[in-house]
Amino acid sequence: MIRLLHVDDDRTILELSGIFLGRGGDIIADCVLSGETAAEMLKSQKYDAIVSDYQMPGWSGIDLLKHVRQNDQVTPFLFFSDQKDEDIVIEALTCGADFFLPKGHQVRSQFIQLEHAIRETVKRRRAEEQHERISSLLRIREAAFRSSHCPLALCDTEGRIQYANPAGLAIWGYTDEQEVIGRSAVDFVVSPEITGNDIQELFTERAWSGCAVARRRDGTTFDARVSVNVVDGDSGRPLGFVAAFSDISRQNRAREQLESISRDIRFVTESAAAMMDFTQGADIYGFIADSLSHLAPQGSVIVLSSVLRDSVVRLEAVRGEESAVASIERAFGMPLEGLSLHPPAGGLGPAIPQSFVQVEGGIDTITFGLLPREVCRKIQELPFFEKVIGRGLWWEGKLHGVTAILLPPGSMPKNTDILDLFILHCSAVLQRREAEHLIGNRDMDQIRYQ
């Protein structure tokens, strides 16, 4: 449908316009006799095109054109006039007219030409407006795409990257999009393995979402959540797909840490409950050392000692890989379990920490300086050993034992608070056992479960 404003001081022309231009049913013309009336019509109506005579009483066609172009640079304006002078035509076109069609004596043919000119100018203007709308929309979308904090990539139907926004480049470790454009999206995914068939299946499924291991520019990897959607053209045929990424490595690490802590707390709780039922003759130190082996990093060596009333430190249990324990015993020159140490005055008590800390001086410190330095050096040079953490088994100001964990290179317990919690349980149980031993076995069952 085309809304037309036709301005001419000749009523016959306007009547013929209504007949010839309106016969198709899709051109609706408002006809007025003067430029001033046309200007008033334009205040309340919007037209797809304006047709005007050049020479009219009052406002001329040029006057009307200039008035229109003050606020409207896009509505097609056509002159349909008896004037044929070249200077007049040039003036009209210079002032912003889209077409200048001279009137003639062949009424039918001249209105056919006028109708064609109207349709063509309106068609061209609508195409320009559509192109401008699409261009504006594309610019808006591109701006949104580029400014998005979500990493995004556009790929063609072969899976080759055609565009990646700054966030997408950053997540892969790039700064220049030319380094990724044209490369296959498969190059940036370690797992799951993606083939050409998988990409083609995507255009059947239309969308995919899931998790993958992605590869950065420097070869390192990260856990990614990926969402992929097919992009279609106006014809409905796929143009490619857009992929959105997010780095979930931190979330995964946090989830793994939470699961690990939950498992360890459950293990500590169950182990502490089990120790409550140990009899006086049970190997409680061996049980504690076994439990610490479960909580400590793989490859650690656990050394657990008791502190006797005369301040003698006795090695009650040693746990670790058999080869590691054997290497330490060779350096000592004797079995570790059962070994007694007599610390010098002041070697115990406040010097023994009440929570796990890294032990400065390593082996020499945990043996209270009683071993030859050569022996300490040999142990500390063993390939499976890097540093020592340790603490005392304290409960209500009383020291019941000492534990040390010899850690392999590059490792630390994931959560020393869990270790401290377990040792605190153990210390309480050891103090209870000592109290039970002092009062004897009389009515022990009653006392134990009060």
In DSSP notation, 68-88 reads HHHH-SSS-EEEEES---HHH
Q: Collect all residues with Cβ–Cβ distance below 8 Å to 243 and sequence separation of at least 6.
A: 152, 153, 155, 185, 226, 227, 228
pLDDT higher at 107 or 80: 80
Superfamily holding 255-448 = GAF domain (3.30.450.40)
pLDDT digits (tens, 9 = 90+) for 31-52: 999 999 999 999 999 999 999 9
Q: What average pLDDT is seen over the chain?
A: 86
Q: Are 168 and 244 in contact (CB under 8 A)?
A: no
Q: Indicate the pLDDT class of residue 138, thresholds 50, 70 and 90.
A: low
Note the pLDDT tens digit of each residue in 333-377: 888 888 888 887 665 666 788 899 988 888 888 887 777 888 888
Say what the pLDDT of residue 137 is: 67
Angstrom distance (rounded) from CA 126 to CA 139: 19
Instruction: Return the number of other C-beta atoms located less than 10 Å from residue 123's C-beta.
Output: 12
Measured CA to CA, the distance from residue 368 to residue 399 in angstroms comes to 16
Would you state the pLDDT for residue 140?
Answer: 66
Q: Give yes or no for residue 386 having a pLDDT over 60.
A: yes
Out of 68-82, 202-216, 303-317, 359-373, give the one with best mean pLDDT. Answer: 68-82
Q: What is the side-by-side strand order in the sheet with 152-155?
A: 161-164, 152-155, 238-247, 221-232, 207-215, 189-191
Mean pLDDT value of segment 240-251: 87
Q: Which of the four CATH numbers 3.20.20.60, 3.40.50.300, 3.40.50.2300, 1.10.1240.10 does domain 2-143 have?
A: 3.40.50.2300
Q: Please report which confidence band the pLDDT of residue 449 belongs to, taking 50, 70 and 90 as the band edges.
A: very low
Mean pLDDT computed over 139-164: 80
* pLDDT of 158: 84
| Predicted local confidence at residue 345, as pLDDT | 66
The predicted structure's pLDDT at residue 313: 86
What's the average model confidence in pLDDT over 9-14?
91
| Domain 2-143 matches domain 149-247 at the CATH topology level | no
The residue-averaged pLDDT of 189-199 equals 75
Instruction: Give mean pLDDT, residues 401-409.
Output: 91
Confidence of residue 196 (pLDDT cuts 50, 70, 90): low
Among 137-146, 203-212, 246-255, 349-358, the minimum mean pLDDT is found in 137-146
Q: Is the pLDDT of residue 166 over 50?
A: yes
Indicate whether 132 pLDDT > 90: no
Band (pLDDT 50/70/90 cuts) for residue 149 is confident
Burial status of residue 246 (CB atoms within 10 A of its CB: 0-12, 13-18, 19 or more): middle
Residues 6+ apart with CB under 8 A from 167: 148, 149, 150, 151, 152
Pick the CATH number of 149-247 from 3.30.70.3280, 3.30.390.50, 3.30.450.20, 1.10.1380.10: 3.30.450.20
| DSSP-derived secondary structure for 285-351 | HHHHHHHHHHHSPTT-EEEEEEE-TTS-EEEEEEES-HHHHHHHHHHHTS-STT-EE-PPTTSSGGG
Q: What pLDDT digit, counting tens, does each position of 257-312 carry?
A: 888 888 888 989 999 888 888 887 888 999 999 999 999 999 999 999 988 866 78
pLDDT bucket at 153, cuts 50 / 70 / 90: confident
Weakest-pLDDT range from 38-47, 372-381, 384-393, 417-426: 372-381
**Choice between 439 and 432, residue whose per-residue pLDDT is larger:** 432
Q: Is 87 exposed, middle or buried (0-12, 13-18, 19+ CB in 10 A)?
A: exposed
Sketch the domain layout of the chain as residue ranges.
2-143, 149-247, 255-448
Residue 383 pLDDT: 87
Q: pLDDT at position 440, please?
A: 67
Helix/strand/coil percentages in the chain, nearest 5: 45, 25, 30
